[in-house]
Amino acid sequence: MTTDAAFTPDPKRWQALAVLSVAYLMVILDVSVVNVALPSIQNALNFSTEGLQWVVTGYALTFGGFLLLGGRVGDILGRRKMFMVGLALFVACSLLCGLAWNSTVLVVPRLLQGAASAILSPSVFSIVSVTFREGSERNKALGVLGAIAGSGAAIGVILGGVLTEYVGWEWIFFLNVPIGILAFALVPMVVRESRASQLSRDFDAQGATAITASLLLFVYALTRAPEVGWGAGQTIGMILGSVALLGLFVAIEIRSKSPLVPMRVFKRRTLTGANVLGLILGTSIFGMFFLLSLYMQQVLGFSALKTGVGYLGIALTIIVTAGISQALVTKLGVKPVLMTGLALLSVGLIYFTQISPDGSYFVDLFPGFILTGIGMGFSFIPISIAALSGVEDKQAGLASGLINMSQQIGGALGLAILITVATSRANGLIGAGTPPPVAFTDGFSLAFWVSLGFAVTGFVAAGLVLKGKDLKAVSAAAPI
């Protein structure tokens, strides 16, 4: 960690934060911006139902799986340089996605787009951590990024609804091109280069490939299980293969001289706890937007635009409460703010379990949106601050990669689990003669109970894993 005596503030740090925030928002939006457009994409490109979710999960998995490698490469070769490489690749893949003429031509660039995000995203956090002095100023900067992470999913579905309704689903990807080009041009003017020159130049690409392949195979097994059966040889074989690849990843990390994840970083309780909670929070939250989008369109009959606008309440709530959350963390510490957020999130999910097939927006959805919005604003910011607290400059890419990986992998796994639960329940009811709107609603409701279980687990884990005395003053945390 850079000492106060040696630290020289960058006079352009706030301009740098503005440019980095725009690029980071594009990355976060692309996890959820497709949700509202999925029915249009399915009709246009003849997607199967199980194939359609790969437009979302494929992106999230390659994003999460390669984040640590992206952080390592940025630390060694230069954070600004790799940010620009990731941004250029992201823009190119966005263009290819918008030009797609069949399902394969869309899914493959989405996988590559996730990998591009894995290069870009950790560089954002590591640049911020070495550009801003630890304490109140860095907390404010991380609060901005936390607000983007927390509200990005909601903003994405709003934007996706508007673009799909008025100009076509292709523009949810095309819009990234001019914004990305502008950010690319501005970065050299306001962001200074930084790197950890003392690190080994071994990138451990084998480890990143093993963990990503393990996750992709596991999610594919989940998506196929409702069709082929949970006890089928194909399902069991894929799950065992996923476990084997995970074991290979652990073996690579233990034997590597320069592992992606040095085990010693987990000696720091704050970092470990933040990543566990980031994984749980992602598992609970990301699938919620996917399911609510389907509920509004398939059950309530909303258009893409009306569905997107329906998320305005939660988006504004997250943005407002994120600023409040950052100030409260600086004053009270991470733990009380985070536990309050997880408690409110749980209450909001309980509300969503009560949705009805003949419901309405203001009765069935709006109160839950406000509760979960406050809960998310009070959860993402403290987790982001805790994950980077006390981290040395040379470990900034690793720490930022870990917390982003935890949230994205948790989100992808949670999405796959919730979709599997909802689809299995709905298909079973439809097969028994239940009308589709009723069956869909029952499936979504059951999935929200599962999501609630993850949120409650996070609340309990926060109480057990995090120590108030370690987090009371995050600026005083000891370096790794």
260-313 pLDDT, tens per residue? 777 677 777 778 888 899 999 989 988 888 889 889 988 999 988 898 888 888
Indicate the residue type of 261: V
Helix axes 67-77, 79-98, angle to 10 degrees: 140
Indicate the residue type of 235: T
The pLDDT of residue 177 is above 90: yes
Angle (CA) 403 80 97, round 5°: 75
The pLDDT of residue 50 is above 70: no
CB environment 103-138: b (16+ within 10 A), e (fewer): beebbebbbbbbbbbbbbbbbbbbbbbbbbebeeeb
pLDDT in tens, 67-76: 778 877 887 8
Which alpha helices (DSSP H) does 167-229 contain, by range?
A: 171-174, 176-190, 205-228
* Residue 199: φ, ψ to 5°: -80, 150
| Per-residue pLDDT at 130 | 80
What are the extents of the domains in the chain?
13-189+258-476, 204-257
Calpha distance 471→161 (Å, rounded): 40
pLDDT in tens, 193-243: 877 666 666 667 788 888 888 888 888 887 777 777 777 888 889 999 999
The Cα-based distances of 130 to 68, 117, 133, 378 in angstroms read 18, 20, 7, 25
Q: Is 167 helix (H, G, I), strand (E, B) or coil?
A: coil
* Dihedral sign (CA 182, 118, 272, 263): negative
Q: If pLDDT is split at 50, 70 and 90, which confidence band does 480 have? A: very low
Q: Length of the chain in residues, anyone?
A: 480
By the 8 A CB rule, do 277 and 341 touch?
A: no
Higher pLDDT, 370 or 251: 370
CATH topology of domain 13-189+258-476: Growth Hormone; Chain: A; (1.20.1250)
The Cα-based distances of 292 to 206, 300, 306, 315 in angstroms read 37, 10, 13, 14
How many CA atoms, within 13 angstroms, populate the side-chain half-sphere of residue 157? 30
